[in-house]
């Protein structure tokens, strides 16, 4: 008996690739851990933190078919909250230990690091890429407006941040290039194996009951193990220790209506499997010789067969990923060169760009939180109205 069933292998490979894509955007592009995809220590220490969140939150969204902006954003905010319990960054930011001292936690870092950077770079963008680029049969990424924004935005952020904080161009190019090469290799293997393991549509990636229980157990284990061993001297006392509680409650309350609603989402419409069978009625490839002979209208002599065009070969299951990663690598190279030139010619312009990115991202997070609260309220009211309509007589 094999150790893992084909379905289990499919899901394990999917979430492994998901973790690599997420760690790349969250850690490599922020320069927090530029070699996180190749350093064995980072594989042990960093990958599990992101992987368990993708298993729990990613599976939850897929199962509920909640793939619109609001639930993806809120799930990313929930992921970003790990900086409270695991790294303790929101209590004592290493770059500014006095931040938020007046309220007991670094509220600006929560908004910027958690609700802007982590929400988008650690979760929303990786989730979208996994669903629209790395699944076999994904459409041409050049036709997606959302992916064009990713192709421009992520390289611009990474190049500006890395250059402004002193990273040499060759180091930026090497760490990003090597990381993208690893993602490309992993996505190539996943695309080729996924079909053999039974992938036909995104619903095939949803965990079973046992898998969900194991994912939640792994999430709890990572929080307990890392929370009790990392940066314990930064844990505050008193009411500041309870700062995450109302934030968690707020995010869960806003996310819950979208999960309850379900509805059409990423996995609503099945995607065609790339195995195209061109078979004759008796089995084997369909050819002009094996095609059935049509009878005449009067039931007389059979007519010669109509020539059948040779079938086109099925598209490569890796085509979308290859196309996107090629353009992504080129976009990073161009952005890094541009940022280095700006730093040489007009360094204040580069720092102004970083300032706008940080505070613009923070403002965007605040606006999205307000929008998410409003959207959740409207969904909740619609659900209650629907429930009353269903339960009313006649």
What is the number of structural domains in the chain?
1
Query: 384 φ, ψ to 5°?
Result: -65, -40
Q: Quick check: is 146 in a domain?
A: yes
What is the DSSP annotation of 9-70?
Answer: HHHHHHHHHHHHHHHIIIIITTTSSTTTTT-HHHHHHTHHHHHHHIIIIIHHHHHHT--SHH
Distance CA 75, CA 124 (A): 8
Q: Are 192 and 184 in contact, with CB atoms under 8 Å apart?
A: no
Residues in the chain, pLDDT under 70: 1-2, 261-315, 386-394
Q: Quick check: is 48 in a domain?
A: yes
DSSP state of 302: P
Q: Quick check: is 295 in a domain?
A: no
- Under 8 Å CB-to-CB from 314, ≥6 apart: which residues? 274, 275, 276
Distance CA 28, CA 203 (A): 30
Q: Are 50 and 57 in contact, with CB atoms under 8 Å apart?
A: no
Q: Quick check: is 298 in a domain?
A: no
Each residue of 156-199: pLDDT tens digit? 999 999 999 999 999 999 999 999 999 999 999 999 999 999 99
Q: Quick check: is 270 in a domain?
A: no
Q: Quick check: is 1 in a domain?
A: no
Per this entry, what is the length of the chain?
394
pLDDT at position 276 is 33
Cα 377 → chain centroid: 26
Q: Which residue range(s) make up the domain with 81?
A: 6-262+317-391
pLDDT at position 286 is 43
Q: Quick check: is 312 in a domain?
A: no
pLDDT at position 388 is 61
Task: Quote the tokens at residue 179.
Answer: 């990381």
Taking every pair of Cα atoms in the chain, the longest distance, rounded to a whole number of angstroms, is: 95
pLDDT at position 309 is 55
pLDDT at position 238 is 82
Each residue of 293-340: pLDDT tens digit? 444 444 455 555 555 555 544 568 889 999 999 999 999 999 999 999
pLDDT at position 239 is 84
pLDDT at position 301 is 53
What does pTM read for this prediction? 0.85
Q: Quick check: is 297 in a domain?
A: no
User: Where are the extended beta strands (E) located within the chain?
Assistant: none
């Amino acid at each position: 008996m094999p150790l893992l069933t084909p379905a289990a292998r499919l899901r394990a490979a999917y979430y492994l690739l998901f973790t690599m894509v997420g760690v790349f955007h969250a850690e490599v592009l922020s320069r927090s851990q530029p070699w996180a995809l190749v350093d064995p220590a980072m594989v042990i220490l960093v990958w599990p933190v992101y992987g368990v969140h993708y298993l729990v939150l990613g599976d939850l969204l897929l199962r509920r078919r909640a793939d619109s902006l609001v639930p993806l954003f809120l799930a990313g905010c929930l992921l970003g909250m790990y900086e409270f319990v695991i790294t303790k960054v929101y209590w004592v930011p290493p770059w500014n230990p006095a931040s938020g001292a007046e309220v007991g936690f670094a509220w600006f870092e929560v908004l910027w690091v958690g609700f802007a950077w982590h929400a988008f770079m650690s979760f929303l963008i990786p989730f979208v890429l996994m669903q629209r680029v790395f699944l076999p049969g994904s459409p041409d990424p050049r036709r997606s407006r959302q992916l064009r924004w990713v192709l421009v935005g992520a390289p611009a952020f990474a190049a500006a941040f890395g250059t402004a904080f002193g990273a040499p161009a060759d180091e930026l190019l090497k760490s990003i290039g090597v990381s993208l090469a690893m993602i490309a290799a992993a996505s190539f293997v996943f695309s080729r194996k996924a079909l053999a393991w039974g992938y036909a549509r995104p619903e095939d990636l949803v965990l079973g009951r046992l898998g969900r229980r194991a994912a939640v157990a792994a999430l709890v284990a990572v929080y307990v193990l890392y929370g009790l061993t990392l940066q314990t001297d930064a844990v505050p006392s008193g009411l500041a220790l309870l700062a995450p509680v109302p934030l968690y409650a707020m995010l869960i309350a806003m996310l819950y209506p979208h999960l309850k609603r379900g509805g059409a989402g990423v996995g609503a419409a099945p995607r065609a499997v790339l195995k195209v069978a061109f078979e004759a009625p008796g089995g084997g490839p369909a050819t002009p010789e094996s095609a059935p002979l049509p009878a005449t209208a009067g039931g007389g002599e059979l007519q010669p067969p109509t020539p059948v065009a040779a079938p086109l070969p099925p598209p490569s299951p890796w085509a979308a990923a290859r196309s996107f990663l090629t353009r992504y690598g080129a976009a990073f190279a161009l952005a890094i060169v541009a940022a280095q030139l700006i730093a040489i010619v007009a360094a204040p312009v580069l720092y102004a760009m970083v300032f706008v990115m940080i505070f613009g991202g923070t403002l965007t997070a605040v606006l999205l939180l307000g929008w998410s609260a409003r959207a959740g309220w409207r969904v909740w009211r619609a659900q209650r109205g629907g429930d009353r309509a269903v339960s009313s007589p006649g």
